[in-house]
Amino acid sequence: MELRDRIGAALKDAMKSRDVERLSTLRLINAAIKDKDIALRGEGGEASVGDAEVLAILGRMVKQRQESARAYEEGGRLELAEKELAEVKVIEEFLPRQLTDEEIAAAIDAAVAEIGASSIRDMGKVMAALKAKYTGQMDFGAVGPMVKDRLG
């Protein structure tokens, strides 16, 4: 089942069960996807985004909410932090399982070997290969320095 269809089905289920918090988060996800659809149409691209782009949108949404929750906790607004973290849980239901550190290291080694990367100049190629294969499964902000250490 396509990711969009899974989100739509979850939205209908949340409406039927009157789960207000879950419904709110699912509507935010739908709105973000539709915003991207509209932006692509404006650029003359495809009419709708694919699963890879939906995964990227969901990843950004998780990251934003985690940063907001951290800020709320530092500001002593625990009820708002809990709300953000509850949204993260709903969004993560649609993301693939995150890779462990060992799996990330193995994926980096495989990408380096596949490309034949030998220096830091090849970092962009390695990162592109990882993004093509592991979108939504790893935090590329954290993986970048690991690739740099491996090639450096």
Q: Say which residues have a Cβ less than 8 Å from residue 122's Cβ, sequence separation at least 6.
A: 112, 115, 116, 151
| Same domain, residue pair 71 and 12 | yes
Split into its structural domains, the chain has a count of 2
Q: What is the pLDDT of residues 69-84, one digit of tens each?
A: 999 999 999 999 999 9
Q: Say which residues have a Cβ less than 8 Å from residue 26's Cβ, sequence separation at least 6.
A: 7, 10, 11, 14, 90
Q: Name the region of 77 (left: φ>0; alpha: ψ -120 to 50; beta: rest).
A: beta
Q: What is the structure's pLDDT at 87? A: 95
Range of the domain at 45: 3-92
State which residues of the chain have pLDDT below 70: 1, 45-47
| Same domain, residue pair 57 and 7 | yes
| Same domain, residue pair 10 and 83 | yes
| Same domain, residue pair 82 and 131 | no
Q: What is the structure's pLDDT at 47? A: 66
- Tell me, what CATH number does 76's domain have? 1.10.1510.10
The predicted model scores a pTM of: 0.73
DSSP letter for 95, please: S
CA distance 45 to 49: 9
| Same domain, residue pair 45 and 82 | yes
